[in-house]
Amino acid sequence: MEASKIDRIVRQYGARESAILAILQDIQAEEKYLPRETLEYVSQKMRIPMVHVFRIATFYNALSLKPRGRHKIDVCLGTACHVRGGDKILDKLERDLGISVGETTKDKRFTLESVHCVGCCSLGPVAVIDGDVHGRLSQEKVPGLLKDFK
């Protein structure tokens, strides 16, 4: 990411240390992840120790140090979804995408994650793609679901 874009984001928050999470979220929204060089630049720009910036970047699951795909798929494995076959949905997605949980497809189209609950228990099993909830899934519905995002 260009330094000028990072500078703009930092300025937007007044370069306040208390805004570091929001700053990192805004950077990731543009880059899809937080490259190490970017974290180092933010650290220097804001005069915050790199260890503090890195701690924030690795603590929150919403932030990633690895490139993410254009579409993020979160498969719920909470109790209700698990009982209704959430693990089978996850297995099918892994097979169809050719990746495991926590990985991104080679074409950078999809990143696959599992979550413990998305709060839509009555719709289980559930997958959330780019913030949109897709409920009452079955293995048979997975190919059609992916087709919508290709």
Predicted confidence (pLDDT) per residue in 63-113, tens digit: 999 999 999 999 999 999 999 999 999 999 999 999 999 999 999 999 999
Asked whether residue 150 carries a pLDDT value surpassing 90, the answer given is: no
Which residues are CB-contacts of 28 (< 8 A; sequence separation ≥ 6)?
34, 62, 63, 64
Q: What is the mean pLDDT of residues 6-10?
A: 96
Burial of 87 (0-12, 13-18, 19+ CB in 10 A): middle
Q: Is the pLDDT of residue 138 over 80?
A: yes
Looking at the chain, how many residues does it have? 150
Identify the band that residue 149 occupies on the pLDDT scale cut at 50, 70 and 90: confident
Give the pLDDT confidence score for residue 32 in this predicted structure.
87
State the Cα–Cα distance between residues 54 and 58, nearest whole angstrom. Answer: 6
What mean pLDDT value characterizes the chain? 95
pTM of structure: 0.79
- CB-based contact 64:107 (threshold 8 Å): no
Task: Set out the domains of the chain in order of their start, with CATH numbers.
Answer: 3-59 (no CATH), 71-147 (3.40.30.10)
